[in-house]
Chain A
Amino acid sequence: MSETHPTTETNDIELRSAIDRSLRHPVMFFFTSGALWLAVAIVFGLIASAKKHAPQFLDTFSWFDAGKIDAAHMSALIYGWGCSAAFGIIIWLMSRLSRKECTSAGIILLAGHIWHIGVLIGIVCILDGRLSSGIGLMEFPNAVWIILLFAYVLITVWSLVQFQVRDAGHVYVSQWYLLAALLWFPWIMVTAYLFVFAFDGNPLMVAAIAAWFKNGLFLLFFLPTALASAYYLAPKVTGRPVYSYNLALFGFWSLAFLGPWAGMERLMGAPIPQFLPYVGAAAMVLILVPAIAVGVNILKTILGHDDVVAQSPSLRFTVSGIVLFMVFGVLSFGLHTVTVMKMTQFSYTGYGLDILAIYGVFSLCAFGAIYFIVPRITRREWLSRRFINWHFFLSVYGVASIVICAIVGGVIQGQGMEDLSQPFATMAERSDSYGWGITLAWGFMLIANFFFCVHLLLMWARLGRRSSHPTLFQRHHSENPHGPEGEIDNIGSATA
């Protein structure tokens, strides 16, 4: 199928079906296991948040002690759900865009199991407390990182191969991001592992590098994966090319240049080389630039297709994720100036930004991708429009509530901390009500994820609708945003 042999439409459909078929088991495994981890992460988040204002909650179970449960919550969210969903998206998208069938589904599936066993061991060690590393932001025990890295290579190396052996031709915007994510992830992970666990260094630099790793995971792995999915879905579902190729190029490179510097602003004021926190804060401030570039580009691409956004679950989730990325850019811009960081450095605010990044930006884009990919690989349509709708609204309102409570609560808490006329206790009490808000919002998220999880598991069991009509938010629409009816997605341009 090189340029000299242009594919006919039928060949094209067959190729896409073959790709989908070849990836069905690994991709479904990643999505369903990810969704289950997400449920676990949300339950942990709920417990962790409740313990901040009601310390006696589940007091008798030492496995759920505050502190340990916070670490388990973030680890389950990042490595259980986030990475798993990202792997599913990456391997499917890379296969589709490189137009290569996956020939190693068995190994990927096996490696996926190894990954999840690694995460499970890590979480159990964190909750038990005696075997975890005790390194803040990298709490999994030493050996688990090796397992994860090993599994990662086995899961993703095939995508790199597919990209390498693709037929010559256009490299899609999505592919830049996928390729970057694929290469950045092992680089930051190996670096963090070596400097934190293997080499002997100043404990402060260990803390700084762990913080750099945590930020790197979002900016250099989750975010590129989410953007790859958005740059694929927005043109695909609306049937229009990306608004501006140059803007896409600019958005990509600005992220690539800024991302690796960020992270050490978490150690502002610590006795490490003084430029490090400043450079980190500057990079976080400037994240607004790629946020605007990407946001404008995606929104301009779908402009004028409001009806499609309203109808298509995948596009609605994706667009919300991209809008939240712009919100993240603005908040990051405002919250990383030196005057504000004085107040917010050690408050709820950081948690708010983390959740906005991982749940707001990445996860919403990932949900969009999942609602798009799953019907194609299972050859079944989603069962319930209502389930998707509930999932969407509860997720968006849930994440918005968490972010607002955490950021506003954090700033108020920080103001109290800096106000020396107030005793420290007043500050701590001030943030209590915001803690309640966060707990409540995690409750909403739990319900949202219940709908998502059940729906996805039903699809996994191949109980989806046998129909050629995609599940959309409105019935009886005149035009199908996924292309003409009669064939699931396999007709229509894949311009990205």
Chain B
Amino acid sequence: MLASFGLPWLFAVVLPFAKMRSLDPVEYEEGGEVSGVYTPKRDGRITEGSRIYGQEGCYQCHTQLIRPTYAGWDVHRDEWAGLRVSADNSEDTRRETLATDFQDEEIAHVGISRLGPDLSNFGRRIDFYLKKGEYTPEEWVLLHLYNPRGLANYLDDQRVPEKSTCPSKGGMFDEVPTYRAGDDALPLATPDGLAVVPNDRARALASYLLSLKKDTLRNPLPKALNFNPEAPQAE
């Protein structure tokens, strides 16, 4: 009895946990010269926002996992894994999820189902599509959280927003008299004298969502981590 439970406990839980706790740093190596160590860059209210993401149960319908191709075709879904080369974008930034991607979070929100799209690169998608939009990325995300069915979609081939089944997070917003809202008011048509203002949780969540840029645009991968190295250039 002790062995039947003890062995899996040791080999599937304790040792992997200890091993994953301190991952060896991966070095950038160019022509035999080490030029630095890969350090994932993230900015935004990561720890706080990630906890709110979990508390609000976003992981029930959204994943944050780009699986290697043996486990699924996530890399090839539009903008899930990063940006592909197009008229507006010269660099292919797509990549799979790495063990360092969830730094500063309490838990990796791998997710349970995909009733909504994967969010690994949600922030990247918003930046890319809202370049010439009428809203700032933060405004767009807050409007989306307030009413997912009230916005023009940023992606044509995704679900049109009226059909989105994403819940409205109205509880994270307050209706206040306009004179008290100041610059915080959302750009919404509201009844006279009233404005919709996001609370601090909504702002932290939006900041976290916009930080989801797990592609290689700002963080080029060292060769040892890059499973999709570029084809060698012809001399």
Contacts and interface: CB of A to CB of B under 8 A. Distances in A.
B72 A203 contact: no
A134 B105 CA distance: 11
Interface SS of B by simple majority:
loop
Given A65-B167, A130-B55, A341-B71, A425 B157 contact: yes
Contact of B60 (A71, A130, A338): A71
Contact of B67 (A132, A183, A268, A273): A268
Interface string B69-84: 0111110111000000
A428 B116 contact: yes
B225 to A, nearest CB: 10
A347 interface: yes
Interface string B151-192: 000000111100111111111100000000000000000000
Contacts of A382: none
B135 interface: no
A244 B113 CA distance: 41
A311 interface: no
Find the residue from A52, A137, A183, A202 having the highest chain B CB count within 10 A: A202
Interface string A164-192: 00000000000000001001100100010
Nearest to A70: B60
A196 B13 CA distance: 11
Nearest to B168: A59
A455 interface: no
Contacts of B163: 425, 429
Interface in B77-104: 77-78, 96-99, 101-103
A418 interface: yes
Contacts of A69: 57
A256 B2 CA distance: 10
B106 A65 contact: no
B165 A53 contact: yes
Interface in A207-235: 207-210, 212, 220
A204 B110 contact: yes
B1 A256 contact: yes
A62 B169 contact: yes
A420 B108 contact: no
B57 A68 contact: yes
Contacts of B167: 51, 55, 59, 65-67
A207 B55 contact: no
A252 B9 CA distance: 18
A135 B12 CA distance: 20
Interface string B187-205: 0000000000000010000
A132 B63 contact: no
Nearest to B52: A134
Interface string A108-136: 00000000000000000000011011111
A264 B12 contact: yes
Contacts of A351: 112-113
Nearest to A422: B157
Contact of A270 (B110, B112, B114): B110
B5 A187 contact: yes
Contacts of A413: 114
B71 A424 contact: no
Contact of B102 (A53, A204, A350): A204
A262 to B, nearest CB: 9
B20 interface: yes
Interface string A18-60: 0000000000000000000000000000000001110100011
A96 interface: no
Contact of B57 (A65, A208, A420): A65
A276 B61 contact: no
B65 interface: yes
A139 B47 CA distance: 17
A425 B168 contact: no
A270 B63 CA distance: 11
B131 interface: no
B158 A424 contact: yes
B1 A418 contact: no
Given A199-B17, A270-B108, A68 B114 contact: no
B122 interface: no
A124 to B, nearest CB: 13
Interface string A238-276: 000000000000000100110011001011111111001
B89 to A, nearest CB: 19
Contacts of A65: 56-57, 167, 169, 171
Interface of A: 51-53, 55, 59-60, 62-63, 65-71, 129-130, 132-137, 139, 180, 183-184, 187, 191, 195-196, 199-210, 212, 220, 253, 256-257, 260-261, 264, 266-273, 276, 279-280, 338, 341-342, 345-348, 350-351, 413, 417-418, 420, 423-425, 427-429, 431
30 contacts: A59-B168, A68-B56, A68-B57, A129-B55, A130-B55, A134-B54, A134-B107, A135-B106, A135-B107, A139-B54, A202-B20, A202-B102, A204-B20, A204-B102, A204-B108, A207-B110, A212-B13, A260-B5, A260-B7, A270-B65, A271-B101, A276-B16, A338-B70, A342-B71, A345-B67, A345-B71, A346-B113, A418-B73, A424-B77, A428-B159
